[in-house]
Every structure is written in C-alpha cells, then in structure tokens.
Structure 1
Amino acid sequence: MFLRNLLWEGKAVTLTNWAGNTVFQAKDVHHPVSLDELRRLVASSPRVRALGSGHSFNHVADTTGELVVLDRMPERAEIDAAAATVRVGGRVTYARLAPLLHEAGFALANMASLPHISVAGSVATATHGSGDAVPCLAAAVSGIELVTADGSLLSLSRGDADFPGSVVALGALGVVTSLTLDLVPAFELRQYVRDGLPLDALDHFDAIMSSGYSVSLFTDWRDTRVWVKRAEELTDPDWYGTRPADGPRHPLPGMPADSCTQQLGVPGPWYERLPHFRADHEPSGAGDELQSELLLPRENAVAALRALFAIGERIRPVLHISEVRSIAADELWLSPFRGRDAVGVHFTWKKDVAGVMPVLELVEETLAPYGPLPHWGKLFTRWPACPDDFRELARRLDPDGKFANDFTRLLLAE
C-alpha cells in the first residue's frame, strides 16, 4: 500500500497518502478482519470512509470520523471460467490479481500505469489506462457488493437500475467489499518507446493514438516521446518522424528505468506490459510528486494540446512530465468518460504546492473552452456539475451523510 505515517520523535502519529500532501483527519483508523466486523463498525459509526491504497492526491478518502482500511480482510479472487469473470475482495491490488488471472488463461482488458493500486479504489475514482478501444478500469465491473449506512449488504449487477451510479461512486454510497470483473483471454504485447515526436505530428494524432493497443505520449510541452504497446512488431524506422529509443526509458527523463516494465519490443504477458511500472518495484521517485489530470472530449483533444504547448514555458518550471492518453466511453454516471470518448492530459508535478497551484489554475483556464473534466483522484480546482441521477442515488442510500466528507459535499451541493 502507498499509505505513509508521519513520525514525531520516532512515533507514528498521523496517516498520510502516498505523496504526503494529504494528512488524514480521522479520529481512528480501523482494520476489520471480517465482513461481520466491518458491518458492525459501519452501522455504529456516525461518520465513516473507506481508504484504499492511498494513491489519491486530494481529500476524496478523508473523514473526520472513522477511517476503514480493508488490508486485513480476506484477500479473495474467485475466477468463474465459464462466465469469464473474477470476483475480488475490497483489499485486492492489480499486482496481486493479474498473475493469478494470467495463470488461469485470462486477462483484464486494461490496467493503469501502476499495478500497485487497489482494484476497489481505482474503480471508485474512474482510474484508467490508455487505449482507443479500452474504457476505464471501472467499465470492467459487472457486479458490486457494498456495506451501506445501516450496516446492511447491498449487491448490484449490470442491468440493475442503480448499478451505473454505484461503480464510480467516490465512496459516497458505502464501503465496497467485492467487485466482479469481466475477463478476456490472456494475451501478449510488445512495448516500444519512440523519441523525438515533432509538434507537427499532432496532425496525425488519431493515427498515432490508434497505432497500438495502448499508446501514451510523454511530454514536457517541448520534447515528446511515445510509448506504444501492441501485439505486432513496430518496424518503421521513421515512424511519424520519431526514432527508436536506444535503450529502456523511464517516463521521467533522466530517471533510471529499473522500475519500468520491459521495453525494446520484447513480447511479454499483458500485465507486464500494460503498466508502465513493474509490480515488484516501487516507482523511482515514488511520492516525490503531485498529480493532476484533465479528461477532454476526443474531438477537442488536438486543439487543447496545441493550447497547452503554447503555454509550455509556464508549465515546465513546476513539471516533471505530462502524459497524454486516450480512453473509450462508458455509461457510468460519475465517470469523466460517460457517453464520450476522451483524451486524458496528465500532469506529474514537482512536489511544490505553492508553485504548482497557480500553474494548475492556468492549465484549467486554458483548457476550459474544450470541455475538461477532472480525474477524481487528482488535484483540481474547478468542480464539475454533479449528475442529478447520482445526487438522487447518494441521498437515497445515505440520507444522513454517513459517508459524506468535504469532497463529496462539494460535489453533491446544488
């Protein structure tokens, strides 16, 4: 897990997120060991929130009440080969799940950059990977089970009226105890890195982003590289004006690539190529950063990217790197991809809140004409409107606001 403790005179006193920029305000942190214990805890607490792997960069998981961490609950992953699904517990991470699926001949259609993060937390915040034809991680969910405000257990399946609102829910409806995920047959990919993408290659943006199963652009808004993950070999020496990397690359220029998944076109299993980082390594520089991401309608992406290149001189002083990737549409109510194919523009910032926030506001202002929505687990300052169907669902399932916090209250306010 990415949770950290702040130390005072050698004693752990406060829990923080991965980056250390969020200090959790909870009165107590609980680690239930069974579903019954969790249900009793939720039923008896006036305020409660669940915390996953601690990789969010804002206060989405915070509470002034009781904080629940499921790291001592049973770690189950039950594969139904006939249905091509897997049912996972609320504590399971992608790093633990993926090898089990591969061994059984299955795969997930998508993974995020980091396999270390929890499945439930990733789903709740609409976290995603990259791929023109691949929706966010939450779109793989076909069933969800959660403990609601009175301690009862609610199970919903795809096709139920409330299901599209219960998957990406930011913890506002209850504590997720299990998820059922769709599976596909196991597959292999190759990963290539191409250096020196020229700015005029944006004229071929759609062709570049569709040239692999998963494609990412990494840029400092001056120099750009392309990560291409695909089944076929990439043999064109002048592919869109780029040159092949002469060795493994880290997304952050100058960082050692030891923590990165294998590149240079070597074929390997899906779960060792789709993430940028290896499950058995903590990413280089882990925690020494802040993150934001804005999700744009696909049709506005090129114009938005040109606008960001135009303010690159303002962005670079507080930036480590940006990543540009595509995500297919879904129908989940709080998803930034609801009803629209999207392009995400991700910012890995230097850990300098005072320096970053004015630049983030400039980025948001620059992108405002292009219809951006924020990634729920990252830093942002402009709140999107809450869909009415989700607001009604939250009030119906949690009328007293047991699972509410400052983050969700801002979202749900009319």
Structure 2
Amino acid sequence: MTEAPVALATTNWAGNHTYRATELHRPESLAELQETITNARQVRVLGSRHSFTAIGDSAELLSLEAMTSDRVDVSSDRRTVTVDAGLRYGELAAALHREGLALHNLASLPHISIAGAVATATHGSGVGNGNLATAVAGLELVTSSGELVRCARGDADFDGMVVGLGALGAVTRMTLDVEPAFDVQQRVFEQLPWDTLYGNLDEVLSAGYSVSLFTGLGPSVDMIWVKSRTDVAGSPAGDLFGAIEAATERHPLPGIDPAPTTAQLGSPGRWSDRLPHFRMGFTPSNGNEIQSEYLLPRTAGVEALEVLRSLAHRIRPLLQVCEIRTVAADELWMSTAYGEPTLGLHFTWLPAQAEVEELLVELEARLLPLGARPHWGKLFLADAATLAPRYPRHADFLALVDRLDPRRAFRNDWLERHVLDVG
C-alpha cells in the first residue's frame, strides 16, 4: 500500500523557492509508484532540490528515496551500469569506485541526483565532454497512466526522452556509459588578462580535460581551474598564457575557506575526487545563493564575454562569481548543447531574487541574440515562444509530451511558461 501523503512545507536547496505542494508521497516499490502516479491529478518528482525555480513543483510531489539503493548492475562488457535514477552522483561514484569504473565527467557538485541532472542537461566542463545526459544509454520511466516505459539509445524517441524536463513521467532507472577508472590532477592559475583570453580562448579552454574559468568581471580573469587526466600527456604547470599557478588551494569564491573544495596543487586523485569543484561531505558551493547559466555557441564566445564586461557595472553588485566552461555538442532534443559545441556562462548571484530578475531582463536582451539557451534548472526569464526556435526538435518534444502524458499530470505552470506554451 502506498504510504499516506505527508504535509510538505519546504524550500529548494537555495531557499529562493517554496514548494506549493501540500502532499509528498514516498512509494517503496514500483507498484506503489505506479499506483500513486495513476491517482494523482498533478505530480512531479522531488530530487535533490538543486533547481532554482519552480520546475520541480506541483500539487503533489514524489520522493523516490525509499526506492533508491547504491547498487550498480554492471553489464557483461563493463561498458554500462544500470542504477536507480534517484541516486546522487557522489553515491554513484563511490559504487563505481568499488567496481574500478568511472563516468566520463561530473558536474561541479556531486550532491545532485542523477535523474534531475540528466533531465535538465546539467553538465561539467571540457571541450570534448558532453553533458551528463550524454552518458545515458537507456532509461525506464512511469507515465501518467502508470505504464512502465523502457527506451534505449537508438530507439526512435530516445533522444527526446533523456533531457525530459520531468514532463514525460517519473524516471526510475537509468543505464549509463562507463569506462575504466582514471586519475585526475587539478591546478589553479591566477590573473589571466582579458586580452590574452580573447586571443587564446580555444587554447585556454582546451588546456585540460576539464577547464573552468572564474571571474568577478574585474581587470582580469581571477582563476583558471585545469583538471587533467594523468593518463593523457600535457598537464600545464608553472604558468598558463601568463597566468601563474596558485601556491595554495583556492575556493571559486574569493576569500572563502577552500576546505570544501576538491584537492588542487597537482596532486593526483581518483576522477570523482577531482572533477567536481566540491567534495561530497561539505556544504556545496556557498550555500546561500541563486544561480543562472546561459549556454552559447562557442563561436560567439568572445562576443559574449565582451557583453558581460560591458555590463560589469550592473552585474558585479549582485555577483558572487561567474564561471566560464564548455560542453561538447550532442543530439538530445532539449539539450542546451544540441547540435553545437557550447560555452557556458554561469552566474552565482547573491540571494536577492527581485534584483537578480531585474538584471536578467537586461542580460538576456544582450545574450539571447547571440544564440544563448538558458540552463533549464536555473533562474531565467525567457518564455517558450522565445526559446522554441533554439531547439530544432522542439515540436517533436511537444508531441512526445502529449503522447506520454495525455492527461497532463506532469505539467506545471513553469513548464507551460518556459517550454510548452509556444502561442
């Protein structure tokens, strides 16, 4: 029997959104989950609550924690593993370590759930690294009719189902590509002149397996975090285009204790202990913030950076830090890297919602004409009519939503406004 709904009065991780739901279901089996979804008028799955908007809200919410274990089922060729979709990446990494396996990349935080990260095209960095959703080889989900649907790479709807924005059903299991475990070393370089970055943007972004630039939009780029695989030659040391290697460990936010961050100074360690910026056992990032991110064609990179610098006087009073990173192109219909290599401009804002939204009006007016696509899980303003033309398979995704959720149980106001209502 499905556990009786309980009262829900909680916020997202950042505290900038209070869930309107009054019922939280905690099914303990697939059958209970199917029953709950079938009986719910409107429902969404509650993950690690690391989105910054109402994307995950509904009249009723589902937690899959009671259905989630850290067991990984390794395929016979050891190229894929199948896991519960509610697992968090830090927990998955520990399970993969026991098997001598690794994912191709991780996001900056290991605290996020697999299903939520995949559904929103969340990513790490690296010119050759696709976002986390590109590792998905198969998935299972429960539709609003209670049907269990399985889909694998190569199936007709697969590329539309992976980055599903929670609009298609409750994802319960995922099969992910893996590879043999590898080690990474991380170095931080400081004070790169903007003109040097403009003249060597591709080279700087390609300086390691995963590269992130952090800036407060001051006179120079504050830090370049370079994560290099130890099984690949060419890890920089000493200086990087004139930026000098930091002599002590750094936090992405200036002046913050680096204790929560992953080890630096070129010390080799397992992939899962270096690819994220933050360690699993600590409060992620600053913990008191709002985040936005815009993914643009890499060919527009210098122009986009010039936009930020021209708006620095408006941005800096609300900015904690801006991170610049890259994502390889993919073919997932609603991925922010669909069809082209992208440059991500990520903003960690002060917790000032009204002021940030006012600034985003101006910021989006300058970035959207350059082809920017907002990160689905972070704060932005653009509506569905504006965003739809940026996704060549958008109409196909809408048809898939209608087919898998004909009674509209997984829809909410946020999805209507930003994804589904194209006018």
Q: TM-score, normalised by structure 2?
A: 0.92
Pick from 60, 66, 86: which aligns with 1:91? 86
2:369 aligns with 369
2:395 to 388, 399, 410: 388
Could you tell me whether the CA contact under 8 Å between 1:255 and 1:284 is conserved in 2? no
Residue in 2 aligned with 1:9? Answer: none
> 1:81, CA displacement in angstroms?
4.5
Report which stretch shifted further, 252-261 or 19-28.
19-28
* Identical counterparts, % of pairs: 48
CA deviation profile, 1:124-154 (whole Å, cap 9, x unmatched): 0000000000000000001010000111100
**Aligned mates of 2:135, 2:360 — CA distance in 1:** 31
Shift of 1:103: 2.5
- Look up the match of 1:215: 211
1:172 is aligned to: 167
| Deviation for aligned residue 1:343 | 0.5
User: Which residue of 2 is the match for residue 329 of structure 1?
Assistant: 329
Shift of 1:284: 5.2
2:181 is matched with: 186
Match of 2:314 in 1: 314
CA–CA distance in 1 between the matches of 2:136 and 2:414?
Answer: 24
* Separation in 1, partners of 2:155, 2:285: 42
- 1:27 shift after superposition: 2.8
1:136 equivalent to 2:143? Answer no
Which letter maps to 1:390?
F
Q: Distance in 2 between matches of 1:351 and 1:235?
A: 36
1:205 to 188, 193, 201: 201
* 2:401 equivalent to 1:407: no
Summarize the alignment of residues 251-330 of structure 1 with structure 2, pairs less than 5 Å apart: 251-283=252-284, 285-286=286-287, 288-330=288-330
After superposition, the C-alpha distances for 1:378-399 in whole angstroms (9 at most, x for unaligned) are 0001131161010010011111
In 1: Cα distance, 2:401 partner to 2:126 partner: 31
Aligned amino acid, residue 224 of structure 2:
V
Could you say what secondary structure the match of 1:128 adopts?
coil
Q: Do the aligned partners of 1:314 and 1:359 also contact (CA within 8 Å) in 2? A: yes
Could you tell me which amino acid in structure 2 is paired with residue 348 of structure 1?
T
Question: Secondary structure in 2 aligned to 1:14?
Answer: coil
Relative distance call for 1:331 and 1:95 in structure 2 (3 A) is same
Q: Give the superposed CA RMSD.
A: 1.3
Amino acid of the structure 1 residue aligned with 2:225: W
SS of equivalent residue, structure 2 residue 200: helix
Q: How does 1:8-23 map to 2 (within 5 A)?
A: 14-23=9-18
Aligned to 1:5: none
Secondary structure, aligned partner of 1:354: helix
Mapped partners of 1:227, 1:406: distance in 2: 38
Partner amino acid for 1:102? H
- Aligned partner letter, 1:118: S
| Aligned twin of 1:398 | 405
Q: 2:20 aligns with which of 16, 25, 29?
A: 25
Aligned to 2:4: none
Structure 2: which amino acid aligns with 1:354?
A: A
More deviation, 364-373/175-184: 364-373
- The alignment partner of 1:254 has SS state of coil
**SS at the partner of 2:296?**
strand
- Secondary structure of the 1:196 match is strand
- 1:211-232 Cα offsets, whole Å, 9 max, x none, are 1000000011114210000135
Could you tell me how far apart the structure 1 residues matched to 2:127 and 2:98 are? 27
Matched, 1:56 2:51: yes
Q: 1:276-300 deviations in whole A, cap 9, x for unaligned?
A: 00011123531x1000000001111
Runs of 5+ unmatched residues, structure 1: 1-11
One-letter code of the match for 1:407?
W
Mapped to 2, the partners of 1:364 and 1:276 lie a distance apart of 27
Between Structure 1 and Structure 2, how many residues are aligned?
401
Unpaired segments ≥5 residues, structure 2:
1-6
1:3 maps to none
| Counterpart residue type for residue 247 of structure 1 | T
Q: Aligned AA for 1:320?
A: Q
Select between 316-325 and 44-53 the one with higher mean Cα deviation.
44-53
> Structure 1 residues 259 and 301, CA, compared in 2 at 3 Å: closer, same or farther?
same
Question: Within the alignment, does 1:227 sit opposite 2:225 as a pair?
Answer: yes
The whole-number CA distance in structure 2 between the counterparts of 1:57 and 1:210 is 30
Corresponding residue number in structure 2 for 1:4 = none
In the aligned structure 2, how far is the partner of 1:371 from the partner of 1:123?
22
Q: Which residue of 2 aligns with 1:239?
A: 240
Q: What's 1:67 paired with?
A: 61
SS for the counterpart of 1:177 is strand
AA matched with 1:378: K
Which amino acid in 2 is paired with 1:171? G
Contact 1:256–1:284 (CA<8 Å) still a contact in 2?
no
CA contact (8 A) 1:320 1:349 kept: yes
SS in 1 for 2:255: coil
Q: How far, CA to CA, are the matches of 1:379 and 1:235 in structure 2?
A: 35
Look up the SS of the partner of 1:156 in the other structure. Answer: strand
